[in-house]
Copies of this chain bind each other. A is one copy, B any other.
Amino acid sequence: MKRTFILALSLAGTAALFGQDPQYTKDGSLVMPKDYREWIFLSSGLGMTYGPAGQTDAAGNPRFDNVFVNPSAYKAFLKNGTWPDKTVLILEIRRSESKLSINTGGRVQTELAAIEANVKDTARFPGGWAFFGFQGSSNEAKLIPTSEGCYSCHGQKGAVDSTFVQFYPTLREIAKKKGTFKSTE
């Protein structure tokens, strides 16, 4: 009996480390995964033209976008070259500055500008995936309607399973080896 208890504790600890399945509110919003900065980093871009929040801010400074994924989905991707159900991708958009501390050129990341999420939950969403946008400091993100361009663009141009793996340099190589990479170039 005590052995079972210890094992259960261990499994619970592992689940906490790896994050959990996506959580929703009663009205279908996504609850912000508070620990996403401890998830797996996939890549960042600067001023990418496909960026959902625009490539620059009002002052003309380009924005960085950082992409993170929940660790259990990452482990599955390494093994299979595609995403499992309950994958959560977080797109964190940050402002940039050039002259900061000793840096005098190029761009460094500063304040948070926006957070979006792309969630795979096949029992819940037609097509498998849904997009959510966090507003301000809210901990809940509203579902972005399927009529928005992100759905069709990801479906048509995403290299793996409606996601932009072409922009994630380490996963790009894995998907090519596993034969799951759809060329969009």
Q: Mark A135-149, 1 if CB is under 8 A from B, else 0.
A: 000000000000000
List the B side residues contacting A7 at CB < 8 Å: 6, 10
Q: A37-B170, A48-B108, A49-B103 are in contact. List 6 more A-B contacts (CB 8 A).
A: A6-B10, A7-B10, A10-B10, A38-B74, A102-B157, A112-B169
Chain B nearest CB from A8 CB (Å) reads: 11
Taking CB atoms and an 8 Å cut-off, the chain A residues in 31-48 that contact chain B are: 37-38, 40-41, 43-48
**Residues A102 and B44 in contact, CB atoms below 8 Å apart:** no
**Residues B17 and A44 in contact, CB atoms below 8 Å apart:** no
- How far apart sit A66 and B40, CA to CA, in the bound complex (Å)? 13
List the B side residues contacting A27 at CB < 8 Å: none
Task: Identify A46's interface contact among B9, B38, B43, B46, CB under 8 A.
Answer: B46
Interface residues of A: mostly helix, strand, loop or mixed?
mixed
- How far apart sit A44 and B108, CA to CA, in the bound complex (Å)? 7
Chain B nearest CB from A21 CB (Å) reads: 19
**Residues A100 and B44 in contact, CB atoms below 8 Å apart:** no
List the B side residues contacting A40 at CB < 8 Å: 37-38
List the B side residues contacting A66 at CB < 8 Å: 41, 44
Chain B nearest CB from A62 CB (Å) reads: 6
- How far apart sit A55 and B44, CA to CA, in the bound complex (Å)? 17
**Residues B184 and A106 in contact, CB atoms below 8 Å apart:** no
Task: Identify A167's interface contact among B38, B41, B55, B101, CB under 8 A.
Answer: B101
A110 within 8 A of B: yes
Instruction: With A74-B38, A100-B166, A184-B102 as known contacts, state yes or no: A109 contacts B47, CB within 8 Å.
Output: no
